[in-house]
Structure 1
Amino acid sequence: MEFCPKDGSILIPKKEGDKTYLVCPVCGYKKEVTSLVIKEEVKKKEELGKGIAEKETIYSKAKGVKCPKCSSEEVVYFTLQTRASDEAETIFYKCLKCGYTWREYE
């Protein structure tokens, strides 16, 4: 991955005839390349839901909340801004007994 020396944008590969260039989509800076490796990573559907929220989340004990699946009151929660910043956060709950996870929009 290379960045534009003028404005710091990511340079996008573009083919013109038999030559390949890295082009800045903002200012038009162009650099010819002789070798280019393009790597594309496709995530499995199950991995798409596992993001930064799962890795760095601090759970808090939920009081007065029952799991809709097993009725346990051993429930923790965390909040995440999933919509526009002027809208309320989404509350995610997780049952410690059965592992069921659900969300609530305010």
Structure 2
Amino acid sequence: MSPKLLSPIADYVAANARLDLDGMIETFAADAVFLDNGKRFEGHAEIRALLKEMVVELKAIFTPETVRHDGHVVVMEGPAHGDFPGSPIRFTYRVGLDGDAIKTMDVSA
């Protein structure tokens, strides 16, 4: 049984499962910030390039197993499977929302 996720996060996870780059990008605010193991990507263009290279091209699909709230941040933990060394790797996603869009996403292994 998968954990219950808020709408923009659930939409991101569903788009990721389909490797749908446009669907993933639609969930982010225009000025969103994505931190990938400490590297900063800002705005749709930078986030799109990152997701294309590190998610779509590697077929990296994240499956949240646990979800909790840490203040205003949603924390998801679970494995990502794909065509990359060490697959599957466990990741932690820390997601901040702004209304119905993802404002921040901090991903670490």
TM-score (norm 1): 0.30
Larger relative contact order (C-alpha < 8 A, sep ≥ 6)? 2
Greater strand proportion: 2
Taking structure 2 as the reference length, what is the TM-score of the superposition? 0.29
Q: Which has the higher helix share?
A: 2
